[in-house]
């Protein structure tokens, strides 16, 4: 599974880990995240992420 880095703060979304603190189950692909999901560290939108 892929990892995506926030270009604003550097936080990495790891598809294997998900974002359980915000209701995103492990194994959730980045493209399957809700459109209103934001970086849990800085609040940047999905458009501010780049695949690693």
Per residue in 3-26, pLDDT (tens digit) is 999 999 999 999 999 999 999 999
Task: Count each helix (H run) and each strand (E run) in the chain, helices first.
Answer: 0, 3
Would you state the pLDDT for residue 34? 96
Would you state the pLDDT for residue 7? 98
Would you state the pLDDT for residue 12? 98
- Please give the model's pTM, rounded to 2 decimal places: 0.94
Residues 6+ apart with CB under 8 A from 33: 13, 24, 46
Would you state the pLDDT for residue 3? 98
Average pLDDT over residues 42-52: 98
HSE, CB side, 13 Å, CA atoms: give it for residue 24: 22
> Contact, 2 vs 15, CB < 8 A?
yes
Tokens at residue 8, please?
């604003």
Average pLDDT over residues 31-36: 97
CA distance 30 to 49: 10
């Amino acid at each position: 599974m892929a990892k995506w880095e926030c270009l604003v703060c550097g936080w990495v979304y790891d598809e294997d880990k998900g974002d359980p603190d915000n209701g995103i189950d492990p194994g959730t692909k980045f493209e399957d995240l809700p459109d209103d999901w934001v970086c849990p560290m800085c609040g940047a939108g999905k458009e501010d992420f780049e695949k690693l």
